[in-house]
Chain A
Amino acid sequence: MDPFNTALVGFHLMRVPARGWRGALCVAGLGLTLALPAQARAPLPPLPLFQLGPASPAIGEAKALLEAGRFQETLDVVQRGLDAPDVTDDELVELYRLQGLTALYLGDEALARGAYEKLLQARPDFELPRSAPPKIRALFAKLKEDLRNRRVHPVTLEVDPIPDPTPGETVEVEATLKDMALGARARLFYRRAGAQAFSSVDFTRDRARPEHYRAVLPAYELPAESTPYEVEYYFEVADAAQRRLAGRGDPFHPLLFQVVPRAAPTAALTQGQGRPWYKSPWVWVAVGAVAIGGTAGVVALSSSEERGRVPITIRVEDAAP
């Protein structure tokens, strides 16, 4: 039997409370089992991690091969599972666990190290069972220490600043992420300049090209307006504990792009269709001007019209002789 199965039980139990009634049932069942006398206990069935989600067929096959001692074939199957599309994080964790264990059996410490490194990045609280061989436990402890001291390969993010986009159209951002940690998320944070909070969109991995990621800024976030406006943004890769692993820009020093209005007729059309007339600042500027002008006119009229009429009579007198 896989020596890690006992650890898997513990790991599983750590995760189940968040899964509602199923978790509660699991805990109750375990408690009941432990309460029974040792002789009455039935052996616990292995609870692999991939049971938490849709199971990858490679996981079952790899486990069978590992138990049969066919290590090289196990590694091939694991690799096939890692390369498969739509692998969940839970499945990846299990695959890396199997890869690390198999690599240690084969004496390939570098491969084991890489596998456990990814596993620990995704599940920092993962622990080996006490029954694990001392060699494996020593390697595992060293890896955890490296991770704690950040001596693992840092995530590198390569992304270009976003050029000034066309209003009303989506913006696609391509990024290259190397040594991306398992469970980490790369996101594009953005906000209208002056707004308080950032919104975000996730980068998704390009299945065809490893290390290539893509984020899409929706068109409705960049509406066409009559006046230019600015959008602040930054990129960030954070691990499962929301620790920043890599990034470009940050909330205090964001990058910036400007959304300029389209050509005048288009802008006018969009404005006319997009928002009611009373929300146009120009309407209120005009209303304000009329109000000020009217008031000034009334004041001027009321003050200037105060006149007095002066009658003048011009008489002609005959010249004195």
Chain B
Amino acid sequence: MSLRESLRLLLWCWGAVLAGCGPQAASDAASLGLEVTLSRAVASQVGAYQVAVLKEGARRSCTELQRTCLSAQVEPDELLDLRDVDGRSGRTLRFPSAPGGAELGLAVDVPVGRDYALVIEALSTDTPTRFLGSSCNYLREVNAGTNAAVVAAPIELTVGDCDPVFPR
């Protein structure tokens, strides 16, 4: 093997090594999160929050989605598989509300990607569970790692006679 070919091979190997270095493809710089504001009147009735993320968020109308239960408007396979910090996974995740209507912090792990719509539904404490209202927010992209919080639309009480539970 000539010297020139050896150098070329060395450079190629070095390039390959460099390609595997550095931070993960998704950096935290463009990360995002969500802040949902809830009126206290609504919060007192909320027993749990149900979180779902829809594919193809740009083609969704959040105004429409907030009118009633998400389960009545989309098919289950339109939802992304989510995971919480405890390792539970599912197309929808439920988080019990904070006692006394206090501020609640939660997090969901979403597959990295673009063009999502995140819907948070407030569910009643009574049985069967009733839909109290929802907050729909566009997620332009979700990067790997922890995304920064963003301000989201407030949840307003909505009169809706629907079942928020998605069929399994």
Contact = CB atoms under 8 A, between A and B. Distances in A.
Interface of A: 304, 306-319
A306 B38 contact: no
Contacts, number: 108
B109 A314 contact: no
A263 B33 CA distance: 66
A306 B112 contact: yes
Given A316-B103, A319-B39, A311 B146 contact: yes
Interface residues of B, number: 43
Interface of B: 26, 31-41, 43, 49, 51, 83, 97-98, 101-112, 118, 120, 139, 142-149, 152, 154
Given A314-B49, A314-B120, A315-B36, A309 B107 contact: yes
B159 to A, nearest CB: 17
B145 to A, nearest CB: 6
A319 B155 CA distance: 12
B40 A319 contact: yes
Nearest to B43: A316
Contacts of B143: 308
B51 A312 contact: yes
A315 B111 contact: no
Contact of B40 (A304, A306, A312, A316): A316
A215 B99 CA distance: 95
Contacts of A309: 107-110, 145-147
A308 B147 contact: yes
A163 to B, nearest CB: 58
B33 A307 contact: no
B88 to A, nearest CB: 14
Contacts of B101: 316
27 contacts: A306-B111, A307-B111, A307-B112, A307-B142, A307-B144, A308-B110, A310-B107, A310-B147, A311-B33, A311-B105, A311-B107, A311-B147, A312-B33, A313-B34, A314-B35, A314-B36, A314-B38, A314-B98, A314-B105, A314-B106, A315-B35, A316-B37, A316-B43, A317-B37, A317-B39, A317-B154, A319-B41
